[in-house]
Amino acid sequence: MKYFNDLADFSIGEIKELVALARRLDDKPEPRVLEGKVLSLLFLSPSLRTLISFQSAMARLGGSTCVISPEMSIHGLESRSGIVMDGVAAEHIREAIPVIASYGDAIGIRAFAKRENLDDDLNDREFRELISLVDKPYINMESAINHPCQSLADWKTLDDLGIPASGGKLVLSWTWHPSPLPFAVPAATLHMAALRGMDVTVLRPEGFALPDAIMNKARQAATLSGGSVTETNDCSSAMQGSQVIYANSWASARHYGDKRAEDQIKPKLGEWCVDETWFGNAASDCRFMHCMPVRRGVSVTDRILDGPRSAIIAEARNRMLVQMALLHRMLSGS
């Protein structure tokens, strides 16, 4: 495996093999398989789960990680082209990326959406520029429009929970959040669930419809797999018979990059906070998923997070396990 950037680059069979490998490595550790191997991690955006799940994943296979993070003295990393660097920035990304990559056998890169230009973010323009500087295997650790490691972990989590692929019903719900968030997680989740063959409903308030590019990619995946993709702003109809609700938040595409305008069409705090009342006509054992970080009392109530519906800790742990599978496939030479 030369890169892991998008679940869409893999067949359903290949994804199932990765999930199976994650399960095998959880059951039967291989603590030497990556001995002497190094994964470079470049975080241009902050991280908690992604950082330590990758560190732990490499360590459990006998390898190591080298981390460059925003907390380090790299705030001045320049990325503009053709610039005369006579200001604060001491280093350009055109040198930093290949150098960091050269110290690893593979590189993981995280760069959140800039949320300035919708087309740039939908096309993952920044991440494509970054990886064009890399001549090693690479992993997308969340870009403007994708988060494939999260989606692979979620696929495994859905399997673990016994939620059927064909005929399984997942609601991807917008929830309240104080900030306009990127499309990476909702886009990746929607595509993943559709590719898994599920009937997916996007539940969101007016003004927060996902962009066509995201919906169309998911619909194509559904065509492949026999799943379906619909959208609504009605909670009750969305939740009808649902087996899992995946909560997230995202910006209004209509007012992209304009928080003030978005705030004017945004529902009130508390109106889109997942609570037990949402589950009235869902499957009785309908589960709750979230990629975290999650805001208590804002996106979801304590009752749900602390109750039996929540699968979020197992979901987070699956990040480590599927990344072990990725790294095994990428670096073990087998």
- Which residues make up the interface to its own copies (CB under 8 A)? 29-32, 35-38, 40, 46-49, 51-53, 55-56, 59-64, 66-74, 78, 81-87, 90-92, 94-96, 98-100, 102-104, 178, 269, 292-298, 302, 305-306, 312-313, 316-317, 320
Smallest distance, Å, CB 83 to its own copies?
Answer: 6
Q: In angstroms, rounded to a whole number, what is the distance separating the alpha carbons of residues 115 and 247?
A: 21
Closer Cβ to its own copies, 226 or 270, answer by number? 270
Closer Cβ to its own copies, 219 or 246, answer by number? 246
Cβ neighbours for 302, distance < 8 A, ≥ 6 positions apart: 296
Smallest distance, Å, CB 312 to its own copies?
Answer: 7
3-state SS, residue 49? helix
3-state SS, residue 160? helix
Smallest distance, Å, CB 244 to its own copies?
Answer: 18
Tell me the longest C-alpha to C-alpha distance in the chain.
Answer: 62
> Which residues, in sequence order, are bridge partners of residue 110?
43
Cβ neighbours for 318, distance < 8 A, ≥ 6 positions apart: 22, 153, 154, 156, 157, 160
Closer Cβ to its own copies, 87 or 308, answer by number? 87
Closer Cβ to its own copies, 69 or 123, answer by number? 69
Smallest distance, Å, CB 211 to its own copies?
Answer: 24
Closer Cβ to its own copies, 60 or 115, answer by number? 60
User: Could you report how far apart the first and last alpha carbons of the chain are, in Å?
Assistant: 10
Smallest distance, Å, CB 127 to its own copies?
Answer: 20
Smallest distance, Å, CB 152 to its own copies?
Answer: 16
For 84, the token pair is 């005369």
Closer Cβ to its own copies, 181 or 209, answer by number? 181
For 223, the token pair is 């065509």
CA-based nearest residue to 317, from 178, 199, 156, 195? 156
Helix and strand numbers, DSSP H then E, in the chain: 12, 12
